[in-house]
Structure 1
Amino acid sequence: MAEAANVRQNLQNVPSIFEISAAETLDNLIYPALSKVFDYFGLRLDFKLWGQLHFREEFSPVVTWVLQYLYLRKRASSFGESFYGLQRTDTKTGEPLTRPQQFKSATLLTLLPYIERKLKARSAHHEETFSWESHLIKLFHIYNASRAVHTFLYLIKYSASHSPIFRALRLTLRYPREPPTEDKWTYIFLKMLEVLAFFLQFVQWWYSNDQRRKVGGTLQNPEPMPERQLPDEVKKTLPKQGECPVCLLRIQTPTACAVSGYVYCWKCIVTYLKEHGSCPVTDYPITLDDLVRIYET
């Protein structure tokens, strides 16, 4: 009881759960916003490892980790926590992060949401999953339940940490005792990144599903890839109206690509997408979320 009373006394002037939640929301916004930007410019890692194993991934996780580590090094807080004036400190001593804690914090801030997002995407698209992936999804459910418990204990001022990750790293969020000491160029650079947060929010809003449905009717159908490089005998084999551009047969189970507007067979476009990650006609980057089944009435 005496220990619990001491914890309550030390938690009088601490950030509210609403500020912490807002900071976490801003941190979780970085990855999807960067993904949209990199997809727009076509920036991806794309190569074959061996045999039929194809590696195709984006730069977003790497850039997210670098950004988070930079803020943890300079301000002892993540991007979102710095934006709301919070700082990570040691639970017992109240000192800023050590170098190992900075590295662990940046890695966990980037890796855990990335893995959970990938697992949920594979499960939602009914892709073939391994048994260890199912176990990982269950572990994430347990972790989220543990977060809810820690949040409640923090809310009633019974715990110094609002999440199991902070408890494991022996960290807590506090208001900084004094403004961070930075050189002029570092200060300007970090301020520019904070201003960039509003741009990231705008990008996320613009590419949201609801907004895409609102403006989708005003978008022009993109032009296909140029045919001038194709021989005449190949041009004669191009698909006619009602034929799938992939298999060149009558379309079965018509499926439209929301990005380009072209229609394919469901099996053809899914198979092509898994290998190339782009529209077969326009070569625009697409995902399974961009495919829309067409039902005739």
Structure 2
Amino acid sequence: MAEHGAHLTAASACEDRPSIFEVVAQDSLMAAVRPALQHVAKVLAESNPARYSVLWRWFDEIYALLDLLLQQHYLSRCSASFAENFYGLKRVGPRGRRPRLAAAGLPRKPHWKSLCLLVLLPYLRTKLEKFISRLREEDDYSIHPPSSSWKRFYRAFLAAYPFANLAWEGWFLAQQLCYILGKAQHHSPLLKLAGVHLARLSAEDLQAMERKLMDTGAIRPPPSSVTERAWSAAKRVLGGLAFSLSTGLSVGVFFLQFLEWWYSAENQESIKALTALPTPPPPTHLDHGADSPLLPRLKTACPLCRKIRTNDTALSTSGFVFCYPCAYGYVKSRQQCPVTGYATELQHLVKLYMPEN
């Protein structure tokens, strides 16, 4: 069985073709970043609606703009999206063409195709899902007559959308299965539409990107015209913004993964097991001595005065029940439970009210 599944990792290790685990991990990276940023925008909008409510109302557009800057930066500098570069991958053109270094960027046509499929398609899909959700709400509380053409149209649209979504997800699943079995070059149909496939970064790619980063900070002759100076300044601002965003996301990804691990059910069980106080031993009753009296045989009697309890009061530290005056006086003078000896304060007295009272 292990021999049949060895191609999942070993086959990809001997060449630049990434494993299915790497490509699925990079696909899920941006899917985890978006909800986190959306939650931050929601918290800010709820804390100060007058100042930050615009972040929540226009979150999709703001996120799409930031995503556009981020992906443009990485596609032009590293020939990969942010998530792909994070996992050490790059986008490569068709097999027949001469391979290029990652620092050289993608050719123009694959570059713009990749940018549209990375930014525009998720934005349109998010808007479509919100539109579907709004249509379903309107369908429940609609004022249109049942026989209207609009009502029939969007009911048919709502009925067909789950099947279209199932076909879309099935297409991706089938492509991934073909990639696992070595029958396909792309794990995602979007890569096939963009005309690229994924490969691991080589040592030459890393060296070229380091040289390009060093050359970026080198001293260059100042631009001659005002237009060139303005365009150069705009490129530096956009590049700095994209670099800051990518650095912040890189740190934020580690932070999100740490939070996901910290609040996972398994880790919480481990924390509770490590920090939980040990269960106290059962009380040892002495035959003599006023500090630890014997419990009376009669269950309704007070362990201190040995009479029928009045104003029943329990100690939350031990659970034993006494008369209120007996427990109050004993705890006030000795700060411990009369039976178990556990440290007890007056705030641990809990009065009990019986049904007959």
**2:138 is matched with which residue?**
128
Indicate which of 189, 200, 208 corresponds to 1:164. 189
Task: State the distance in 2 between where 1:24 and 1:86 align.
Answer: 12
Q: CA deviation at 1:19?
A: 0.4
The one-letter code sitting in structure 2 at the alignment partner of 1:102 is H
The one-letter code sitting in structure 1 at the alignment partner of 2:201 is P
List per-residue Cα deviations over 1:65-107 (Å, max 9, x = no partner): 2222222121111111111100011122244522332333233
**2:199 is matched with which residue?**
174
Does the CA-based 8 Å contact 2:110-2:195 persist in structure 1?
no
Indicate which of 28, 31, 51 corresponds to 2:31. 28
**Normalized per residue, which structure has more helix?**
2
Q: CA deviation at 1:134?
A: 6.0
Task: State the distance in 2 between where 1:206 and 1:123 align.
Answer: 35
The one-letter code sitting in structure 1 at the alignment partner of 2:28 is T
**2:116 is matched with which residue?**
107
**Normalized per residue, which structure has more strand?**
1
Give the 5 Å matches for 1:17-96: 17-42=20-45, 43=52, 45=54, 56-58=57-59, 59-92=62-95, 93=97, 94-95=99-100
1:149 equivalent to 2:174? Answer yes
Task: State the distance in 1 between where 2:249 and 2:69 align.
Answer: 13
Task: State the distance in 2 between where 1:160 and 1:26 align.
Answer: 21
Q: CA deviation at 1:206?
A: 9.4
Matched residue count: 195
Change (3 A) 1:89 1:132: farther
Unaligned runs of 5+ in 2: 1-10, 46-51, 140-153, 218-238, 265-357
Two-structure CA RMSD over aligned residues (Å):
3.9
Change (3 A) 1:204 1:44: farther
Change (3 A) 1:13 1:74: closer
SS of aligned partner of 2:92: strand
Change (3 A) 1:158 1:61: same
SS of aligned partner of 2:184: coil
Task: State the distance in 2 between where 1:113 and 1:204 align.
Answer: 24
Does the CA-based 8 Å contact 1:91-1:172 persist in structure 2?
yes
Q: CA deviation at 1:148?
A: 1.1
Q: CA deviation at 1:118?
A: 4.5
Unaligned runs of 5+ in 1: 1-7, 47-54, 209-297
Query: Structure 1 length normalisation: TM-score?
Result: 0.53
Percentage identity across aligned positions? 28
Change (3 A) 1:169 1:17: same
Does the CA-based 8 Å contact 1:91-1:160 persist in structure 2?
no
Change (3 A) 1:32 1:192: closer
Task: State the distance in 1 between where 2:112 and 2:174 align.
Answer: 26
Higher-RCO chain (CA-CA 8 Å, sequence separation at least 6): 1
Change (3 A) 1:205 1:39: farther
Change (3 A) 1:143 1:194: same
List per-residue Cα deviations over 1:226-252 (Å, max 9, x = no partner): xxxxxxxxxxxxxxxxxxxxxxxxxxx
Does the CA-based 8 Å contact 1:32-1:204 persist in structure 2?
no
Which range moved further: 80-89 or 108-117?
A: 108-117
Q: CA deviation at 1:119?
A: 4.1
